[in-house]
Amino acid sequence: MIPAGTALDNGGEVLKVDDATGSTVVEFRFGDRAPWPLLADGEGYSLVHMNPVAGDVHHGDAGNWRSSAVEGGSPGASDALPVPVDPAGDEDGDGLINLLEHVMGDGAMFTAEEAAAGRTLVWQVRPGGDAGQMVIESSGDLGVWQTEAGLTGYAEAMVGGLIRRSAVIPASGERRYFRARVVPVP
């Protein structure tokens, strides 16, 4: 238990939970820089583990955490959205499968804009859409795709109940394509 009046460090720190017999249940470090959820870094939102019942939960992996749906989090309860009954179906007939819209919201916005910092990818995810994980991939030829690791300047804001994320694409002089892929969380 964490004593009242104390708080986790907004700069990230090691968390260790022991059980009554003193053996360690979990020990990991959380961070406050992307890809860790930026809204949980002093903005009032909680860090929420997206798949806490899985056998191997990788607490130290930023991709398994998200910001809470509302400020202050939801202590004692889950704020996860109901898992789509038919993940591969298209309930509203707009060509986007239910799992994609569960994770990225209706219409699944993923676009590029010109910003002061340069060409910027902008996308949205639904807080609580935990049945899938969004991965950004890039390609030079639309044939071979790889997980994009070169984005910089991550930013995050809550807009209309969706988490709006953006990241700057480093200028390379070469044509690059980006796509968002949503993979089911087992």
Binding residues vs Ca ion (CB under 5 A): 90, 92, 94, 96, 101, 106
What is the nearest approach in angstroms of Ca ion to the Cβ of residue 37?
24
Nearest to 182 by CA among 82, 90, 91, 108: 108
CA–CA dist 41, 65 (Å, integer)? 13
Q: How many CB atoms lie within 10 A of CB 178?
A: 17
Query: Measured from the CB of residue 159, what is the shortest distance to Ca ion in angstroms?
Result: 18
- Shortest Cβ distance from residue 17 to Ca ion (Å)? 39
Give the total residue count for the chain: 186
Q: How far apart are CA 99 and CA 86, in angstroms?
A: 8
Question: Which of residues 37 and 105 has its CB atom nearest to Ca ion in the complex?
Answer: 105
Query: By C-beta, is 27 or 106 nearer to Ca ion?
Result: 106
State in angstroms the smallest separation of the CB of 81 from Ca ion. Answer: 14
**Which residue's CB is nearer to Ca ion, number 81 or number 96?**
96
Cα end-to-end distance, the chain, whole Å: 30
